[in-house]
Amino acid sequence: MSDQNVVLVGFMGTGKTSVARKLAERLNREFLELDAIIEKKEGISIKEIFEKNGEPYFRKAEKDVIKEVSEKKGTVISAGGGAVIDEENLNRLKKNSIIVCLEASPDVILKRTKNNTRRPLLNVSDPKKTIEELLKQRDPYYKKSDHIINTDNLTIDQVIDQILTLL
């Protein structure tokens, strides 16, 4: 197995963080969650960053964290759903990492995210419509990943098993 990082990308609610945390445990590697790093640096939650400073400020903070973590090796990274929509971020991450995109259908994403209010982009009156629109916009960027796994009918362990075959 190479010392490349494994970076999980993909839409909100596709299971990136749960999969990355457990995968890191199984591989005995460092686990990094970009949103958690941003929250720690800023001292407030992602939701509060969006409310107080706006999305552009968050994207700048996200870019700065990606600059730092992309120099690492041998870690498992969970990236926020918008991280690789920025080409510079994707290229930086690609340097030392294998990029795995987790996918899910809009209905599954809605089911997995609907009871959680910590995602500012989905705290809207019609989250299903937002999910469909954002997915359509973002799909071409997610497709630039090295591998894509559809998680609709998979458990966390099954997703991990599939990732392990790619390493």
State the residues that interact with ligand S3P by CB under 6 A: 12, 16-17, 35, 46, 80-82, 119-121
**Alpha helix ranges (H) inside the chain:** 16-27, 34-42, 46-53, 55-69, 87-96, 106-113, 127-142, 156-166
Please tell me the distance from the alpha carbon of residue 24 to that of residue 27, in angstroms, as a whole number.
Answer: 5
* Of residues 161, 2, 11, the one with CA closest to residue 80: 11
Q: How far is the CB of 2 from ligand S3P (least distance, A)?
A: 25
Comparing CB distances to ligand S3P, the nearer of 4 and 130 is 130
Q: How far is the CB of 17 from ligand S3P (least distance, A)?
A: 6
> How many other C-beta atoms are found inside a 10 Å radius of the C-beta of residue 16?
28
* Burial grade of 1 (CB within 10 A; 0-12, 13-18, 19 or more): exposed
Q: How far is the CB of 1 from ligand S3P (least distance, A)?
A: 25
Please tell me the distance from the alpha carbon of residue 124 to that of residue 146, in angstroms, as a whole number.
Answer: 32
Q: How far is the CB of 158 from ligand S3P (least distance, A)?
A: 20
Comparing CB distances to ligand S3P, the nearer of 121 and 156 is 121
Q: How far is the CB of 16 from ligand S3P (least distance, A)?
A: 6
Comparing CB distances to ligand S3P, the nearer of 3 and 107 is 107
* Of residues 98, 76, 90, the one with CA closest to residue 146: 98
Comparing CB distances to ligand S3P, the nearer of 81 and 106 is 81
Comparing CB distances to ligand S3P, the nearer of 80 and 127 is 80
Amino acid at 114: K
